[in-house]
Structure 1
Amino acid sequence: MTMLSSLFLLLLLVLTWTRKTPQQLLYSLLREAEKGLRRMNVRIPGLERRLEENNPKRVFHSPFLRLRGDVRHLPTLLNLPTSEGSGEAAHPDVLHVPGGWGKGDWTWLMAATPYPMGTDYFENPEFYVSRDGLRWQVPEGLRNPLARVPVEPSRREIRREFHSDPSLLLHEGLLHLYYRWTAVLNTGETENRILLTTSPDGVVWSPPEAVLSERLPTGSDRKFLSPSALVLDGTRVLWTVDCEAGDRFIVRRTSPDGLHWSAPVRTEIAAPFPLKAPWHLDVSGEGGRLRLLLTAARDRGVDAELLWGWSGDGGLSWNVEGKPFEPGYFFEKKRIYRSSIVPMEDGTERLYYSAMAGDGTWHVAALDLGAPPPYETGTEGN
């Protein structure tokens, strides 16, 4: 190996270890060199000033660095105690229980997945609780994650597997957590499952049980993306994003018990502007009008943007109306991802959303919104 190759590998190792871009590493080296020169009473005119002025603007970015001058939303970044220690997370799904629930009478419940630098090995469902919706903790007695890979270590045909997309449902005092498991197989196929685990108290959870399962050729077909569950008029309803022949769409399934699901029914989406294909979703509400949060994106979530809308026919059709906010901070720079919206007692809403920053890190933020926009009178569905 030549000396040049060795230096390149050493630089790559340093960049990987410190998570710095080449520009950041060069800045750090220059700043330390300038400090050393000052200790020796050697001054280079203008160097200290130029280093200080260029640091915050061009090299090291605060999560709340504004990318433009007209940013109006004021989110709160959450400090989630992820089990692998990074604090990076995605796919939040949040419930507000004003009367309290579980061993600690918690009023806020969240499921999310750690996602350090987009590493899906850690993308396992975790559970957190809170009393104000901003300061989150792991319930005493619970050890996250609730499930981890490998799920079936003895299956040698599995080349790669990961979890994603948790969804919480509280029904008759029992907390249900639906989440997705995906395995890429050596056979040229991909196996997808929706798994269900339940808890009466947030600490003790049942063994995961597959409630939907399908094996498809690896490629453009996908099933069960981003499950979102509700109970409407006593019937369990589950929405997912499915993909066939490269076409992604929202489907609706029903169940009497949350275990056995009907065949999927494709729903319709209307919007007054061009839409990217659905990628992730969250549905909230108890009946009548349902609220939709839709993450629309190119394949694999590229160029994802967050939209909101509603349904007046139980989620068989949707009206998408626009964006709840325009991304404007460094921690939102690359994409806005799966999100969750929670109605508050005063008629306003609180949005929880995950976002990918300009440096590839993942964050979950809370944003208090006003009252939802009025729906069109007398319009059901589309």
Structure 2
Amino acid sequence: MYKIKREIIRLWMQMAVKYPNLIPAIFSKYIKMMWNDNQRRCAEKEYRTVNFDVKADDLKKDTQILDLSCTSGFGETVHPDVLFIPGGFGEFGWKYVMTLTPLPRGIEYFENPEFLVSHDGISWEIPCGGKSPLVDAPFDWVGYNSDPTLFYEDGIVHMIYRRTEYKGNGADVRLLVMHSSDGVCWSVPLVIMEEHHHRKDLAVLMSPTVVKLAGEYLMWYVQGSGGSFSVVRAQSKDLYQWYGFMSSMLRGMPEGTEPWHLDVIKKGKEELLMALCYQHVGNYKSNRGILFASSNDGGILWNISGKHLEPGESNFCKKSLYKASAVFAENGGLLLYYSGQDNLDHWLTVRREITL
């Protein structure tokens, strides 16, 4: 009976989204609220159990699965973005801050940004007085909030994230930015980019990442068009108004692969490093890996290095890897935070010490 009811709600929801002129607005809003409530109830019934106790001999050296069960997604998470703040952040001087999105069994409804803090980069928690998720899940609209990234400057953490709202046969896709000085009280999100696309072409404005170089903010994101994917670079003076859009060149990409999600950090004053989640052309649901690249011209030309991570090396990532976040730690070493999908479709996030 439960499955029949869920299917009926799903069909109503599709009608309300695709044919808004045929259904009164008040009824359409009610249907979308029912669908979102159904998503939450389904996950709470079926997807609560996650195993964080992975055998140590199944993981590569210097790799540790993070227990992120404090999040609203029951511990299953993707798309981490981590910053190390030498002077500490907020009242308690947190050295590490992170955003990511829950994704229990791939349910988009739960893909809404969280904000976590840590003193050591291993044990994470929601700051006292903070909320989970930080960005509310859809209420009377259908879609999700994804791909968050963090930027820190002058005691302020800025979060940029991507909102997808389904409308008709397509969706409005927007990038929004909000900021906080303590990780608890956040500004009202403001739209900084937006596009409308058909449902078959919604892989746009994906995985933004920001650095400041020579007094200017630079952003990179992945853009899909006509079934192909590229990295776009943009410039800004204030994080709100963006211009100078251009395609970045990825020199040395393995044959038959394309960019999917990315993270960019500074190494010294001028060199940039990229952790790039790639996918095989035509295989968009699994078998993704992680490459590394560097740039010395402000992120216009990227040179892919020989080092890469592939799925299947451990049980937690048998099916696929996902977006990675690189960060220079307190000891100067390079850390990589990334997620993996196991054979049961659970998504877990790990911390790994790497050398390039």
Q: TM-score range by the shorter chain?
A: 0.7 to 0.9
Match of 1:203?
184
Q: 1:85 to 1:194 in 2, by over 3 A?
A: closer
CA contact (8 A) 1:112 1:126 kept: yes
Distance 1:237 1:139 in 2: 29
Letter matched to residue 294 of structure 2: W
Q: Max radius of gyration: which structure? A: 1
- Residue 313, structure 1, aligned to residue 297, structure 2: yes
Q: 1:72 to 1:85 in 2, by over 3 A?
A: closer
CA contact (8 A) 2:115 2:134 kept: yes
Letter matched to residue 288 of structure 2: A
Match of 1:110?
98
CA contact (8 A) 2:47 2:105 kept: no
Superposed CA deviations along residues 323-354 of structure 1, whole A, max 9, x for unmatched, are: 44444110011111011011134442011111
Distance 1:175 1:226 in 2: 18
Match of 1:338?
323
CA contact (8 A) 1:284 1:290 kept: yes
Superposed CA deviations along residues 223-253 of structure 1, whole A, max 9, x for unmatched, are: 2100101111111111000011111000000
Distance 1:360 1:65 in 2: 21
CA contact (8 A) 1:128 1:139 kept: yes
CA contact (8 A) 1:62 1:330 kept: no
- Residue 174, structure 1, aligned to residue 162, structure 2: no
Partner-residue secondary structure (3-state), 1:273: coil
RMSD of Structure 2 on Structure 1 (CA) = 2.5
Equivalent positions of 1:1-382 (< 5 A) are 63-64=54-55, 72-84=60-72, 86-150=74-138, 153=140, 160-186=142-168, 188-220=169-201, 222-271=203-252, 273-285=254-266, 287-298=269-280, 300-327=284-311, 328-370=313-355, 372=356
Letter matched to residue 184 of structure 1: Y
How does the TM-score come out when normalised to structure 2?
A: 0.80
Distance 2:73 2:198 in 1: 35
Q: 1:96 to 1:66 in 2, by over 3 A?
A: same
Distance 1:92 1:355 in 2: 11
Distance 1:192 1:185 in 2: 10
Distance 1:141 1:239 in 2: 32
CA contact (8 A) 2:213 2:270 kept: no
> In the TM superposition, what is the alpha-carbon distance from 1:115 to its structure 2 partner?
1.1
Distance 2:95 2:315 in 1: 31
Letter matched to residue 362 of structure 1: W
CA contact (8 A) 2:66 2:348 kept: yes
Letter matched to residue 241 of structure 1: V
* Gapped regions of structure 2 (runs ≥ 5): 2-43
> In the TM superposition, what is the alpha-carbon distance from 1:319 to its structure 2 partner?
0.9
Superposed CA deviations along residues 20-67 of structure 1, whole A, max 9, x for unmatched, are: 9xxxxxxxxxxxxxxxxxxxxxxxxxxxxxxxxxxxxxxx99644877
Q: Which has the larger strand fraction?
A: 2
Superposed CA deviations along residues 83-103 of structure 1, whole A, max 9, x for unmatched, are: 326111111000011221112
CA contact (8 A) 2:263 2:276 kept: yes
Letter matched to residue 251 of structure 1: V
CA contact (8 A) 1:230 1:237 kept: yes
Distance 1:193 1:199 in 2: 20
Superposed CA deviations along residues 84-132 of structure 1, whole A, max 9, x for unmatched, are: 2611111100001122111211000000111111111111101000000
CA contact (8 A) 1:278 1:296 kept: yes
Partner-residue secondary structure (3-state), 1:262: strand
Q: 1:334 to 1:278 in 2, by over 3 A?
A: same
How does the TM-score come out when normalised to structure 1?
A: 0.75
> In the TM superposition, what is the alpha-carbon distance from 1:221 to its structure 2 partner?
5.0
Q: 1:354 to 1:232 in 2, by over 3 A?
A: same
Distance 1:311 1:329 in 2: 31
> In the TM superposition, what is the alpha-carbon distance from 1:312 to its structure 2 partner?
1.1
Letter matched to residue 148 of structure 1: D
> In the TM superposition, what is the alpha-carbon distance from 1:263 to its structure 2 partner?
4.4
Distance 1:61 1:134 in 2: 13
Partner-residue secondary structure (3-state), 2:200: coil
> In the TM superposition, what is the alpha-carbon distance from 1:273 to its structure 2 partner?
3.4
Distance 1:19 1:85 in 2: 9
